[in-house]
Amino acid sequence: MFWGVRMNLKKKVSLAVVKRLPRYYRYLSDLLKMDIKRISSQELSSRMGITASQIRQDLNCFGGFGQQGYGYNVEFLFNEIGNILGLNNDYHAIIIGAGNMGQALANYTNFEKRGFKIIGIFDVNTSLVGTDIRGIPIRHLDELESFVQENYVDVAMLAVPFEQTPIVAERAAKLGVKGLWNFSPMDLKLPYDVIIENVHLSDGLMVLGYKLNEKFEFIREDSSKGNDGNS
């Protein structure tokens, strides 16, 4: 791997734009599958539900290959965004916690397509230790330190119980793991030089709730009270 070289090729883009890139990346990959070679910001806008001007603003970060009357070269744009996101890297990830969420993550093959290879899974449940998921062995959490010292681990995906999360996160950070992807519903913060992405599943659910509330009149019979919302 020539990380150094790749680093030099990477462009600098604002994080606000970066956060929208995965979505562009997915849509462009769909276009490629449909063998669509080029697309205008207007077409992309109607597909993605983002304004064309927002799209032009975002994609201007990647230089002037969106040409008047031509639009965007889908494959070029796809590859450029992949480069910016560093998807051609191979990160080594471990999963800490092999409960339902941890196992769901271990079975989520998409991560490998994004450059994240899961090289280890850890749990304290002795009935799980020694088994494997997709060929990845589940080790006892006691082995975390020795494993991380012997293997390159860039990212730890944390899928442990809420109260265990800060403890396990600190152990991983102290070992020099560079990134933590936390699935416990908390904004994990640590006094270490580690990048933390907190996943808040219920945030998306709350937004869904808002849209439901906005769109639908929730007037319905209430079986518990036996009257309806109008009364």
Q: Which segment (58-66, 100-108, 123-131, 164-172) binds a copy of itself by CB under 8 A?
A: 100-108
- Any known ligand binding at 99? yes
Look up residue 31 and give its two tokens.
């276009």
Amino acid sitting at position 72: Y
Contact 48, 27 (CB under 8 A): yes
- Please report whether residue 146 would count as binding a copy of itself according to CB under 8 A: no
Q: Which segment (55-63, 71-79, 95-103, 117-125) binds a copy of itself by CB under 8 A?
A: 95-103
CA atoms of 51 and 156, how far apart (whole Å): 36
Q: Among residues 9, 19, 69, 167, which is the contact residue for a copy of itself, using CB under 8 A?
A: 19
- Please report whether residue 111 would count as binding a copy of itself according to CB under 8 A: yes
Cβ-count burial of 180 within 10 angstroms (0-12 exposed, 13-18 middle, 19+ buried)?
buried
- Please report whether residue 1 would count as binding a copy of itself according to CB under 8 A: yes
Look up residue 200 and give its two tokens.
């808040």
Interface size with a copy of itself, residues (CB under 8 A):
75
- Min dist CB 191 to a copy of itself, Å, is 16
Binding track over 45-84 against a copy of itself, x by CB under 8 A: ---------------------------------------x
Give the closest residue to 22 by CA, choosing from 58, 46, 51, 70. 58
Q: Among residues 36, 42, 108, 146, which is the contact residue for a copy of itself, using CB under 8 A?
A: 108
Q: In what order do the strands lie in the sheet with 179-182?
A: 132-133, 136-140, 116-123, 91-96, 155-158, 179-182, 195-198
Q: Show contacts with a copy of itself in window 147-206 (CB under 8 A).
A: 152, 154-155, 178-179, 181, 185, 187, 195, 197, 199-206
7, 8, 164, 174, 207 from 11: Cα distances, Å: 9, 8, 38, 30, 33
Binding residues, as ranges, are 97-102
